[in-house]
Structure 1
Amino acid sequence: MSRLRQANAITLFMLAYLLSYIDRQILSLLIGPIQADLHLGDTQFACLNGLAFSLLYAVLGFPLASLSDRKPRPPIIVAGVILWSLATMACGLCNGFWSLFTCRVLVGLGEAALAPAVYSYLADIVPKEKLAGTLSVFFLGSFLGSGCAFLFGGSLLSVAQHYNMTSLHAWQVCFLVVGLPGLFLGLIIATSVREPAQRRVAGPHVPAAQAIAFFRQHKMFFSLHMLGYTLLAVTLFSLFSWMPAQMMRIHHMSHTELGLVLGSIVIICGSAGVFTSGRCIDYLTHRGVVCASQIVAVTGAFLACVPLVISVLTTDRHLAVPCFALAFFFASFPMPPSATVLQIVVPVPMRARFSATMLFCNAIGGLSGGSILIGMLNDRVFQSPLAIGLSMAIVAGTASVLGGVLLLLCMPSYRRLYGAQQHHQHVYDAVSTGVREQTA
């Protein structure tokens, strides 16, 4: 694949991830008007924001990942983009909890097709020593998308409130508008991205039983790795999901002001964090540091904890905003290593399915579990919307520390697995070279 086609594919995938996060995160900004119009509590809103999205996103990630291991990946990506875009627009036609819940489930179904297929695709066109940096470019889409959802969502809501000529609520108009660009992007990907001519497939399709056996063979590493990154996902998704409510309830920000502040932080600090993380991993890997990914992720986890807790507990807006920016910068560090490690140590035919397993853990535990736990603490323990900061500090702060500890504990098992995979790859390369020489 030429460098131009490679760059084109990476850019389009990043834009798809960007739009997926706009469609996913716009709900967090609209918490006020949606709760008012549909009469929802924090727990119900958390179900819409986390559980509804993650249901099919998590479960169907496995068959879609298996499909990505065997079939051309661009059509899978295109189908996902178009589905979640249509489902987002359908959210704008909902007038009750269950109809909105159903549409959010379909948004999650569409987005489930994206990440496993893209991970597998990029690992085929990018050398190992540059994979973390390339994945960091893809992950930029999550922060650019979330930032745009906050940055422009507040202004869009204000415009919809003042110039709405329809019978729809302003928040419904927002869903219709933000879902539309995905339809055009899906068509662009369909016409410009092709499957690599030389796909890295090491042997025939591997049955699920063999993938499970590989997991069990290295269960110490995979258990610690996935649980650790799930806890770090709790930290990051808690900031995504509940920081708008925190800023509006405690610091009394308007939607427009909130969008400008949070949007700028998410775009600048999130993008800088994920880019820094990927480059640090590539640098350390080039220097021969085997556990480069874990070192970078653990550093981010520990450094994010203190500013995170300060940002959600202080009543001083001038302290809360810079602390949130610092926390978000470090909380974004774990995103590239969580995917990079699996692409390196998992055999090629199993990569997409292990990536789907990681996404399942992140969705159920990180996005859904963390968000619902915060909502339940507000509604049932503290029984006050103003306790949102304390709930976030307990859930997100604890998860950040525990996640970092688990990743430290998984380093020895990772070294063993990495060494075994390197040995197998050397044997495979030697056999392949011998076969080519005999053929020549």
Structure 2
Amino acid sequence: MTRGTEHRRPGSLPRRAALTGLGLAGVGAVAGGSHLWHHRAYAPAPQHGLTVAMTARGERFVAGAPADVVPGTRVAAGRPTTAELVAREDDWLAGCAPWTREGSSAAAVRAALRDLYVLSAGLPVPVAGWPLMWRYVWPRDTAHVVLAWHEVGRADLVQQHLLALSDLVGTRPLAARYRPVGGVPDDRPDQLDGPGFVLWAIGATRSSWQDSTARWPVVDLARHCAEQLLAAVEGRDLPPAGPDYWERPERAVTLGVAAPVLVGLEAAAAELPTLAHPILARRCGEAAARVAAAIERDFGAAGYSRSVEGGPRDAAVTFLLPPYREPGTVTPALRRALTAATREMGRGNGGLAPGGGWKRDGVAWTPETLLVARAEAGLGERAAARSRLDWVARHRTALGSVPEKVRWDGSPAGPAPLAWSAALIVSTEAALRG
């Protein structure tokens, strides 16, 4: 969420240095924000553009005007190879499932797929966005993009990006984020929602990789994530306090950490028995039962607030609902919590803020709005989910990309496109078409 920060941490040298030719030479070179972790000033651009466009050399740039881009594409206009690039992008889209080209919402779905295309084509792993502060790989974002690939029948991309993520991670605990060419850019603390979401995505996309050459590296990544989560809850019922998708230090454990840890442990318990790790799976199942009971006891008592200490709710309540957990785990209390959270998070422009305790600036955030839409789709609340999807579609930029935020007056703000939001559009639409 608060991604404009930079904190140094020794990382490995880039293993794919040739990718600097794709416009990645600046990755990791930016600092900024007023965050506790930042260490030097950075003045961000006043706006982050209308979309990202690609050139024939594989370079990308933030497009700030309609004339910069071929209409309806993510291709730079006015270049000798423009027609070739448009055909390549269209061919890529044609390789996605037929449902993405059908129905009244097809235009928004295809625009989201183009957003994912421009943030991933030619890269080992998709980046969160293209402005420098977002030009990194967050495991939570990658997990959602991988699921979107699975939903549209792109097993090739599921395999490619899980393999590349495994390569980035190596044998160390998952970091908060990575440079797409390898290594970590700073010393921010690890974020335990990352391994949780990655395990969830591995389980949810199993049919896309289990019979491929990607199988064993993916199994190794799953084992690695499971061991990291087990270590986090060893001797305790809940994981320790730490940053979650709000990207800030926390003094008490949040649902944004506890819920993904539970989701990852449950996924590991379900998947690892057939992936040559039955003992590890049993340990994950036992830990999941303990964490689930603690979440119900400690968070549930306060209506599933953001913090274990109580207070307003946030979008993390969706992590306890489908598609992250099985429908049978949904309780009336969780349904009430989702309803209460959406009321607390609501903004006058029709979207949702990250949480009830978020600053009252009238700005809505598309990832949180879409997380709720996906939860509503999973709960069978189709009209509500469709309404939120349509709201996001109406608030895209003039070039069709989904922005990170929507201002009080309905205008887009923040980087556009944002990979997490684009992936959630695809996944929610897939659920509604179910």
TM-score normalised by length of structure 2 = 0.26
Structure that is richer in helix per residue:
1
Higher relative contact order, structure no. (Cα contacts within 8 Å, ≥ 6 residues apart)? 1
TM-score normalised by length of structure 1 = 0.26
Q: Which has the larger radius of gyration?
A: 1
